[in-house]
Amino acid sequence: MRKLFTIILTIFLGSTLLSEASPVNLKDETLQSLLDSLDVTLSHKDDYMRGKEQRIRSIKSTLAQSSDPERRYWLTNDLFNEYRAYDSDSALMYLNESYRIARSLGRRDWMDDVSLNSAYIYAATGLFDKAEEALERVQRDSLPPAMLMRYYENKVFMLTHRGQFLGEIYETKPYADEVDSLLAVITPTLETSDPKYLWFKGWNAMRTPETAREVLPEIIEVMRDRKYDNGDDAKAAWMLGMLYKLADDSTSYVKYITLSAIADVKACNKEIASLEELSDLLYQCEDFERANRYIAYCIQCANYYKSRVRVGRLADLQYQISDSFSRELAHNGRQLNHYMWGLIGIIVIFFCALCFIIVQMRDLKKSRKALHDTNAELHKRVGELNDARASLDEANRKLAEKYNSVQQDAMELSMNNEAKERYIADIFTICSDYISKLDDFRKKINRMIIAGRLDEVRELTKSPDLSQSELRELYNNFDRIFLKIFPDFVDDFNSLLQPDKRIEPRKGELLTTDLRIYALVRLGLNDSVKIARFLHYSVQTVYNTRQRTRNKAILPKDEFIEAVRRLGNPRM
């Protein structure tokens, strides 16, 4: 039992337990959520205090209107319970009133109850001599079991707080044996609904990691429906956290210590241990900003409660946290200076780049002016280009030759399944090359015109204009080749459209303009400009057609294009 008592004292002194706890991962999502909840709870502490003050005013109002001594005793007892962990001076004042009433009525049991409560307040505020005197006034032999439990609880509370105040661990074997005897008798008889059940059950199990692990499932079951908004829940969660610490489960330890702190804040407790424990832990984990906020709140509570026991250690811990926090801020300040100089360097580079861009923009403006003058000269030659339109006959002949070459490539494509898409791409390339050659031819004619060689131009351009029949035949052959490779393309494409918006080729047609455009998309040609050049449509026509067809689709725009690219399995 001496070992158990030493463990309990060690906990109150904030030291590590017998087994070294595993590292705490404060980045765990659950722990971060709990710490955020604690921050929110602390931000509403004034609301909880207003609620508590409202309850106190209500009881005081009832007390002022009551003249019955017994009624007044219970009301002063209620006020003590409100002030017990909130304001030690007010708690002692109402205890004195309760003792006066109990003495006047000759109620020894009430007087013992007041003495036990007084021992708690004196021990909590560091008046240990008075706490011992209060305990000595209690007639222990005549106490009922419930008050006997409170007697030993307060005795242990006094001893542990005295050890914390003096920085010592006392080897008080007589008291340890008394607590041991009490636990042996009382713990098996406690009901789970008893407010002291978790407290004594936890103490009894706090011997070794094995005993702690054995009792944890039972205590967790009792704690399952707790809301963590009152002092009893705060103590129970603190005890459960310490058992987890002894059992080397650091995550659960932090979880329940945090829940205990939340319950303390909601209950407006000023005599708190959980938030102090959590501040020390956060300090060890180098979360200095949070640790500094928590320890400042703990010192505020200790000063308000006038707890001599906690003020000294809290001040020392705050100094360590503040010192570390200051050093971290200084380090961050140095880093910020480095970043500032880096930012200044970036700004200088940006300014230089801006100056360079301005110079380039001026040069570009001059180039544009020169280009404008050149375009003006070209416009003068537009009339002469009208005379060169006859040259398109020669271009038509070359187009027919290229077209025959494309037909031959398409026949080879139908015989080679693995190369079919490459050959289709060749069709695009040939057509594009021919258009480029037409442009070269135009430039050649233009140069001849500019040079005044009009007779040569007339010789080159005697044939009539390019016939649209060649384009229709090109479309027909493209449709035939494409549908030979993708025979189900029309049905597959229509499956992507709304049922009443299906696109069906007219009689004598293989593909409509809409289908032909999306056939090119199926082959991987998605650029509207390239599609327009291949089909000899305007870019606006291609864009409007694609937009109109997409509006008929049952899929979003991005998914529709991707679905078109996956349509059909090529066949030979």
Using an 8 Å Cβ cutoff, are 187 and 201 in contact?
Answer: yes
Cα separation of 441 and 439, whole Å?
Answer: 5
Q: State residue 125's pLDDT score.
A: 82
Using an 8 Å Cβ cutoff, are 91 and 275 in contact?
Answer: no
**What structural domains does the chain harbor?**
2-279+298-308 (1.25.40), 381-466 (no CATH), 476-572 (1.10.10)
Cα separation of 543 and 447, whole Å?
Answer: 34
Q: State residue 104's pLDDT score.
A: 93
Q: State residue 59's pLDDT score.
A: 92
Q: State residue 490's pLDDT score.
A: 87
The residue among 534, 571, 564, 533 whose CA lies nearest residue 546 is 564
The residue among 289, 263, 230 whose CA lies nearest residue 26 is 289
- Amino acid identity of 259? L
Neighbours of 240 (CB within 10 A): 26
Using an 8 Å Cβ cutoff, are 449 and 457 in contact?
Answer: yes
**Ranges assigned E (strand) in 183-224:** none
Cα separation of 44 and 229, whole Å?
Answer: 13
Cα separation of 307 and 163, whole Å?
Answer: 14
To the nearest 10°, the Cα dihedral for 463, 465, 468, 474? 60
Q: Which structure tokens are listed for 407? A: 């037909």
Cα separation of 29 and 27, whole Å?
Answer: 6
**Ranges assigned E (strand) in 412-551:** none
Q: What is the DSSP-derived secondary structure letter of residue 500?
A: G
Neighbours of 488 (CB within 10 A): 13
Q: State residue 18's pLDDT score.
A: 35
Residues 6+ apart with CB under 8 A from 369: none
Cα separation of 88 and 80, whole Å?
Answer: 9
Using an 8 Å Cβ cutoff, are 97 and 89 in contact?
Answer: no
In the block, which residue shows the tokens 């049991």? 109
Cα separation of 282 and 254, whole Å?
Answer: 10
Residues 6+ apart with CB under 8 A from 571: 417, 484, 485, 486, 487
Q: State residue 175's pLDDT score.
A: 43
pTM to 2 decimal places? 0.52
Mean pLDDT in consecutive groups of 10 residues from the start of the chain, 572 residues: 46 42 68 88 90 92 92 92 87 91 91 90 85 87 80 78 60 46 58 67 78 84 82 84 87 88 88 80 80 81 72 58 62 70 82 85 81 77 67 66 59 46 58 67 81 76 54 78 84 89 85 88 85 84 89 86 80 52
Rg (CA), the chain: 45
